[in-house]
Amino acid sequence: MILDILKFPDPVLRTPARPVEAITGETAELVQNMLETMYAAPGIGLAAPQVGVSQRIIVLDLDHENPGDNVIKLVNPMIYEAEGEVVFEEGCLSVVDFTAEVQRAERVAVSGYDDNGDEVDIEADGLLAVALQHEIDHLDGKLFIDRISRLKRDLYVRKLKKSIRTGREMPENRGVVI
């Protein structure tokens, strides 16, 4: 089932998600719905708060040529190691019509559980490292626009408020969004 993706400035996106206490069939169903929603959007990552669920769950699939073959499903993910620096152009399914260069760790090590309750440990660099950090930020109530200059963020917010005030929708993101 395809879920609705919340858009900034929805306050749910600013609320830290609760840890998942027990991984159940309901958890696995949510993960599957999140994947369907992410593919339909289309995006390469999605966090549960983006679909209005306050749980620490993310899904990722960076392989557009083989959707579903390299899926990452993480429950209660945690970055336990980060090093280096990289600047990457990011977009977000919850932040429409805006991309910006964001500085993140170049390499990360992340642990969590899959939707079966099995422990998962991932060491990542490049786009995967960026995507993991981006989605885990969602679980902490942060958006990529919180990691850019205040000036750029304020310009985006003003543009968004104008589109809301005038009743004109902002165009959807184009290209790959995390």
Q: What is the pLDDT of residue 42?
A: 93
Element (H, E) at 159: helix 150-166
The ranges assigned to domains in the chain are: 11-166
Please give the backbone phi and psi of residue 31, each rounded to the nearest 5 degrees, phi first.
-60, -45
Rounded mean pLDDT for each run of 10 residues along the chain, 178 residues in total: 96 97 97 97 97 98 88 98 97 94 97 97 97 98 95 89 77 53
Instruction: Say how many CA atoms lie within 13 Å of 135 toward its Cβ.
Output: 34
The catalytic residue positions are 135
Residue 174: the pLDDT is 45
**Helices and strands counted in the chain (H then E):** 3, 7
Let me know: does 133 contact 80? Beta carbons within 8 Å. no
**The CATH homologous superfamily of the domain defined by 11-166:** Peptide deformylase (3.90.45.10)
Q: What is the pLDDT of residue 160?
A: 85
